Amino acid sequence: MDPGTGSPLFIAQKTLCYYPISTIYNSCPRYLFYALILASCVTRWTGWLADVFLGAAATYAGTAAIQAFILLSAQQKPQSPSPITIPFISANTSLTSDFPELVTETDYIVLAPASLELDADAVLAIVVTGYLVFLPLQAWSRVLTHDRARNLLFYLWNILMLAGSICALIYAARVPNTPTQYMFCYPDIPPYDDTSSDGWQSSWRTSTWNSSVWETFSNISVWGQIGDICYNPCFNTTQILRQQTSLHSATVTEDSAAPSSHGFWNKILYSKRYIYSLIILCLVLNCLLLVFKFLPYKSRIPSSQIVVIWKSRRKIWNGFKEDVRHGIQRPLDEKPGNEEGRTVAYPAKKQSLWHRLRPFLTWQFVNAFLHVSVDAGILFGMLFSMIISPFTIVAFVAWAEWTLYNDGPSQESPQQVGQWAYLVSIALLVISAGILTLKYRIASSTELDNEIEATRMHLTNLEEKREARSESDEL
């Protein structure tokens, strides 16, 4: 206590130290990313337009995936906990009106300076969405996967999104372990709701945190040097890819609109299982679709098009029943004395359990069962990818954006250039791509002649490569 006034020398209040969401991940760029993904699905048959939309979305999501790798590989290491003695304040004090998160009924706390990276929430939303949307895109669009080079590029992007999702999930799972942060203030000078850091000077921490706090508030001249109303030890922390001056300290209450320290994970209890289940299910279905498309497997599913599957539904069902019947009945017909088609009569007797189960334990039945199971899995994967998967993506995006909304307001409004610049860039890219598609209509005769000659040379080169490959295949 201050002997002159009878009030505590300083108070300790819980605070949230965080790096706000970067400009590139604010609401406008994120909504543009979702719009580009949707536009890629809607214009999937156009070719060039879908390439523009999907290419822009892929580069944006790829940037988020790279950041997920960096965040996980260089995650902030927690500082050693340090006990700090504080003035004892009773719970019925009037100071709670100015300090809503005031620490009461104790004379010490344990401090371990740390900060939250809110970019992790936005990165997680982007990379998981980019991974989930791969499933319906490859199921619905034949343009995106009609040649090997395009297909390879498409799958490489999917692998990048999967790796980014895993890294973002691992990083986000560690967020709840962030220790509670505190700020220290004079009792008659309440802090602002949100304070940004002006940097950290080494002189602000003399030895231990306990000594530094007491020396700061015991000497008014030392307190005046910290450049802030309150003493925030968390401003001593750093985060990769961030400037230290972008760190914020905010007082968070249950009714506050400030960023939430819980991030994605403590909002909904089953959130981890929900995202993990979606990613694992999409991974399994992607493997099934790969089996259907590329491996030499003879499936009874005639096509990956939903219309063709619906028209052939009876044929598919009858094929399933025929496989199962063939796997069961054939072993029953293989009886001694029946090699030449003669029927051998057996005395009626009760069959044992082993004899009844024997047809189901043959290799032929196992083969038929596996064939039917794989076809059923492929059919389920296609139906899920085409019909159910889009709804799960919409549900995930809505939930992710609601969580990001609770992380606090954006740093920039849509009117600022950092937000609408991405939209203008995409618009100019679409205009440029559209003009290039009209190059043959607006080209001169000389340009057309040159293009024809170049095409002939290119065709000759392709024919030579085709002949060389045919000769190598024959050898």
Instruction: Give the pLDDT of residue 1.
Output: 54
- Same structural domain for residues 33 and 151? yes
Task: Among 180-184, 271-275, 438-442, name the most confident range.
Answer: 180-184
Question: 369 with 327: CB under 8 angstroms?
Answer: yes
- Same structural domain for residues 151 and 200? yes
Residue 272 banded pLDDT, cuts 50, 70, 90: low
The beta-carbon contacts of 265-274 under 8 Å, at least 24 apart in sequence, are: 265/172, 265/173, 265/175, 265/176, 266/176, 267/403, 267/406, 268/399, 271/399, 272/173, 274/396
Residue 133 banded pLDDT, cuts 50, 70, 90: confident
- Same structural domain for residues 280 and 316? yes
H/E element, 19: strand 11-19
Q: Of 203, 233, 256, which one is at a domain's C-terminal end? A: 256
- Same structural domain for residues 190 and 293? no
Distance CA 339, CA 381 (A): 43
Q: Residue 212 above 70 pLDDT?
A: yes
CA dihedral sign, ordered 225, 228, 233, 239:
negative
Torsion, Cα 169 173 179 185, to 10 degrees, reads 50
In a domain, 414, yes or no: no
| 149, 424, 457, 463 from 454: Cα distances, Å | 22, 34, 5, 14
Of 263 and 182, which is predicted with more confidence? 182
Distance CA 209, CA 112 (A): 9
pLDDT in tens, 371-399: 777 777 777 777 777 777 788 888 888 88
For the beta carbon of residue 231, count every other beta carbon within 10 angstroms. Answer: 23
Residue 30 banded pLDDT, cuts 50, 70, 90: very high
- Same structural domain for residues 199 and 275? no
Instruction: Give the pLDDT of residue 467.
Output: 85
Per-residue exposure over 402-426, b if at least 16 CB sit within 10 Å of its own CB, e if not = ebbebbbebeeeeeeebbbebeeeb
Instruction: Give the pLDDT of residue 307.
Output: 66
- Same structural domain for residues 108 and 214? yes
Of 319 and 204, which is predicted with more confidence? 204
Type of residue numbered 144: L
Instruction: Give the pLDDT of residue 258.
Output: 45
Distance CA 335, CA 346 (A): 11
Among the residue ranges 130-144, 233-247, 438-452, the one predicted with the least confidence is: 130-144
- Same structural domain for residues 397 and 467? no
In a domain, 346, yes or no: no
Among the residue ranges 376-380, 400-404, 443-447, 467-471, the one predicted with the least confidence is: 376-380
Distance CA 475, CA 470 (A): 9
In a domain, 23, yes or no: yes
Q: Of 256, 282, 315, which one is at a domain's C-terminal end? A: 256
Q: Of 256, 287, 315, which one is at a domain's C-terminal end? A: 256
- Same structural domain for residues 62 and 154? yes
Instruction: Give the pLDDT of residue 296.
Output: 63
Residue 262 banded pLDDT, cuts 50, 70, 90: very low
Question: 448 with 440: CB under 8 angstroms?
Answer: yes
3-state secondary structure string across 348-375: CCCCCHHHHHHHHHCHHHHHHHHHHHHH
HSE at residue 381, side-chain half, CA atoms within 13 A, is 28
Instruction: Give the pLDDT of residue 303.
Output: 64
**DSSP-assigned beta bridge partners for residue 17:** 249
Instruction: Give the pLDDT of residue 222.
Output: 86
Rounded average pLDDT over 437-442: 84
pLDDT in tens, 304-314: 666 677 777 77
- Same structural domain for residues 194 and 230? yes
Distance CA 167, CA 71 (A): 8
For the beta carbon of residue 145, count every other beta carbon within 10 angstroms. Answer: 19
In a domain, 2, yes or no: no
In a domain, 340, yes or no: no
Task: Among 289-303, 320-334, 344-358, name the most confident range.
Answer: 289-303
Type of residue numbered 393: I
In a domain, 138, yes or no: yes
- Same structural domain for residues 209 and 276? no
Instruction: Give the pLDDT of residue 437.
Output: 82
In a domain, 49, yes or no: yes
| Alpha helices (H) in 84-200, listed in sequence order | 119-132, 134-140, 148-173
Rounded average pLDDT over 155-166: 90
- Same structural domain for residues 224 and 307? no
H/E element, 283: helix 271-293
Return the DSSP state at 344. -
Distance CA 28, CA 461 (A): 46
Residue 339 banded pLDDT, cuts 50, 70, 90: very low
Number of domains in the chain: 3
Domain limits for position 380: 265-327+358-407
- Same structural domain for residues 208 and 294? no
In a domain, 401, yes or no: yes
